[in-house]
Amino acid sequence: MKAGNTGRDILLGVAIGDALGVPVEFKDRGELQQNPVTGMRAYGSWRQPAGTWSDDSSLTFCLAETLCAGYDLSDLANRFINWKQHAYWTAHNNVFDIGNATNAAISALERKTSPLLSGGADEGSNGNGSLMRILPLLLYIKNKPVAERFAIVKEVSAVTHRHIRSVLACFIYLEFARHLLSGQKREEAWTMTQQEVTGFWADNGICPEAEKSWIAETWGCTLWPRDLVVSNGYVIRTLQAAVWCLFHTESYSEAVLAAVNLGADTDTTAAVAGGLAGLYYGWQTIPADWQYVLARRNDITALADKLSGIS
């Protein structure tokens, strides 16, 4: 495994990508092509100060904090509720963005629904709300057997997104991240992820026939031209876009700016890509001025240092 502070690689990687995307969320690709994002901006779509991160990072931090105390879905559920009700782990003490499926799931948790059943299980509940927050789980599961890794990913995704499509996307993402963490080059890591994931699913009958076409498409996304990359809020498209950005750039900053400038769901695409890029290049390579302006940076790094200790 790579030496260094993997907690910071993950949490700063996610949060800084998120914060770069917040001011231009919902802007289309053509508009950003005319006025591309090149660094931290203030205000914009949500009228927030520069360095402000969104629900993507808030829920990522909630998961990281739970893992630091010990794997406990009830604890995670309580932190999600606290975030929604009391702006816990927010940048400036307000919740300014929440996805529909995540909102519905946390409402179910508020009604004392089990965290294993709170997330939507219908096909329409496949936004990117579990993918965007799941990367800290890597440090908890990385040394466990593959069947146990999958079972835990399924549980953590299900808190907000229970459909098998979201679970499979989260698993691909974390398995790819696991290979990056081991020090493999991205090409080797992606090839190994494909081989191991498809082999495991085939041996255990995990992947439904209906899911196989998008998965096959995803394995080839690294070779797409930019025009084929879609960056909306659909979990499959977010996964593909994030992986594409890592493969078509050569630094953390290039990867997250490529993600933001794809347009549409800019904060989440950049958060998911930023997590991968943080692991691949290391948090020290993130531009210092971006780190300096990040809201609650000291709180984030303190949590990240604790998170590194669980691995």
The architecture of the domain spanning 6-308 is: Orthogonal Bundle (1.10)
The answer to whether the annotation marks 130 as part of a ligand binding site is no
Tell me how far CA of residue 222 lies from CA of 227, 237, 246, in angstroms.
13, 13, 9
- CB-facing half-sphere around the CA of 72: CA atoms within 13 A: 10
d(CA 24, CA 256): 13
Residue 219: its pLDDT value, please? 98
d(CA 293, CA 116): 37
Residue 3: its pLDDT value, please? 62
DSSP 127: B
Structure token digits, residue 147: 């069947």
Residue 97: its pLDDT value, please? 86
235 touches 161 (CB < 8 A): yes
pTM (two decimals): 0.97
The answer to whether the annotation marks 56 as part of a ligand binding site is yes
283 touches 9 (CB < 8 A): yes
- 147-187 tens-digit pLDDT: 999 999 999 999 999 999 999 999 999 999 999 999 999 99
For the chain, the farthest-separated pair of C-alpha atoms sits apart, in whole angstroms, at: 50
Residue 42: its pLDDT value, please? 95
Distance from CA of residue 281 to its chain's centroid?
17
Task: Pick out the chain residues at pLDDT < 70.
Answer: 1-3, 311
Tell me how far CA of residue 256 lies from CA of 13, 28, 82, 259, 262, in angstroms.
9, 16, 29, 5, 10
**For residue 275, how many other CB atoms are within 10 A of its CB?**
35
The answer to whether the annotation marks 265 as part of a ligand binding site is yes
The answer to whether the annotation marks 268 as part of a ligand binding site is yes
d(CA 36, CA 180): 29
DSSP alpha helices (H): ranges in 182-234?
186-204, 212-219
What spatial distance separates the first Cα and last Cα of the chain, rounded to whole Å?
Answer: 10
115 touches 77 (CB < 8 A): yes
262 touches 29 (CB < 8 A): yes
Instruction: Say which residue the tokens 């974390």 belong to.
Output: 174
Main-chain dihedrals φ then ψ at residue 138, nearest 5 degrees: -50, -45
